[in-house]
Amino acid sequence: MTREAVRATAGKVLRSEDLVGDEKQAAAAILQANPHFGNPHVVRCGWCHQTKTLFRDEDEKPFKHIPHGWLCETCDLRASSQEVKF
């Protein structure tokens, strides 16, 4: 549940007008309490435009974590990612 809260907030950080109250501080507190999570990354395929917010240890279709980022398995292309820091 805590990863889902951080993931939802991370998706909004880049659009700061969508943040509600102390949402960013709450997500930062969760990450500080669970340092093994690491920071979430917004992952996007430049070809099919799929976008997901993932942690480094996660694979979620269509993205598969590889040694240096993620691979879009649908397109068989390396996806771009941006780390979200709170």
Number of structural domains found in the chain: 1
d(CA 46, CA 34): 31
Of 83, 19, 80, nearest to 51 by C-alpha is 80
For the cut 70, the answer to whether the pLDDT of residue 82 exceeds it is yes
pLDDT in tens, 26-63: 888 888 888 888 899 999 999 999 999 999 999 999 99
Q: Which range marks the domain in which residue 66 is found?
A: 2-83
Predicted local confidence at residue 12, as pLDDT: 72
DSSP helix/strand/coil, 64: strand
Place of tokens 């500080």: 32
Q: What is the phi/psi pair of residue 69, to 5°?
A: 115, -140
Q: Which helix (H) or strand (E) segment is 44 a member of? A: strand 41-44
Predicted local confidence at residue 21, as pLDDT: 72
State the pTM of this model. Answer: 0.80
